[in-house]
Amino acid sequence: MTTTTKARHRKASRPVTPLTSAAPAARRGLAVAASSGLALTMIASGASAANSTEVAASAGSLEAAGTGALAADARAAITTNAAVTVASDVTVPADLADAGEVTVQAPVVVEPETTTEATTETAEAAQDEATAEEAVADDTTQASTTTTSAAASAPAPAASGSSIVSIAMQYVGRPYVSGATGPNAFDCSGLVQYVYAQAGISLPRTSYAQGSAGTMVSAAEAQPGDIVYYGYHVGIYAGNGMMIDAGTTSTGVVYRQIWGNPIGYIRVG
């Protein structure tokens, strides 16, 4: 079965805006809009083109305000200042040298003169102080040396007999050894020499030489500390008929009565 549909046509209607009152440009825009569906856009475009008001005079112009006002001075400077030009025959001199890299040398810091003087004065003061200390040390050393020399040159004070006896008693019981001069062992003259040396008196080494070191006195005149002299043997008189001597290997250093017949008693000093 065949169905036939007749074509339908839209009834023509009066245009909202008569084309006769629009500008030619507007009529062309509406014609294009009718075929492309952009009626609103083209109408706005035609209206803008139909408007004869200049953009520069519109309310949104930035000519008299905003960025236009800010750039006015720059535009004036560009238009009023003449451009700098260089003649075409200007050339670079042949002797013009490249300056190269520019370097800057740090300035030399000079200490104030007052600081230098103060430092110098401080150094001089320290030197003077050191010199003074050296002088004091030299004086002290010289005084000590003088005192030592005087003590060495001055005769030793005479020791009392009791002090000599006291020193000798400290070594009673030490062994007898021929040729020994103490303090761990003695022979007869070694003991006498060592004890007198402790009292500050120097004596010869042998018994015979010690017999000639002082003045010989009798037994009645003998005093503690005198040397009991036998010639070949010596001891120290302790008073009351007693003596201290290094007798033999069997006795060692011993405190005992005077034995035999001494030649005499030697008083030293």
Domain chopping of the chain, boundaries: 19-50, 161-267
The answer, as to whether pTM is greater than 0.75, is no
Identify whether the C-beta of residue 215 lies closer than 8 Å to the C-beta of residue 267. yes
- The predicted-structure confidence for 199-212, as pLDDT tens digits, reads as follows 999 999 999 999 99
Say yes or no to pLDDT of 161 above 80: yes
- Position 160 scores a pLDDT of 77
Contacts of residue 201, defined as CB under 8 A and 6 or more positions apart, other chains included, come to 156, 158, 159, 268, 269
Strand order in the sheet with 264-267: 215-217, 264-267, 227-229, 234-239, 242-246, 253-257
Of 27-31, 36-40, 81-85, the one with minimum mean pLDDT is 36-40
Q: Which residue has the higher pLDDT, 257 or 44?
A: 257
> Rounded distance, CA 222 to CA 13, Å?
182
Of 15-19, 164-168, 177-181, 250-254, the one with minimum mean pLDDT is 15-19
At residue 43 the predicted structure's pLDDT band, cuts being 50, 70 and 90, is very low
Q: Which CATH superfamily is domain 161-267 in?
A: endopeptidase domain like (from Nostoc punctiforme) (3.90.1720.10)
Over the chain, what is the mean pLDDT?
71
Say yes or no to pLDDT of 39 above 50: no
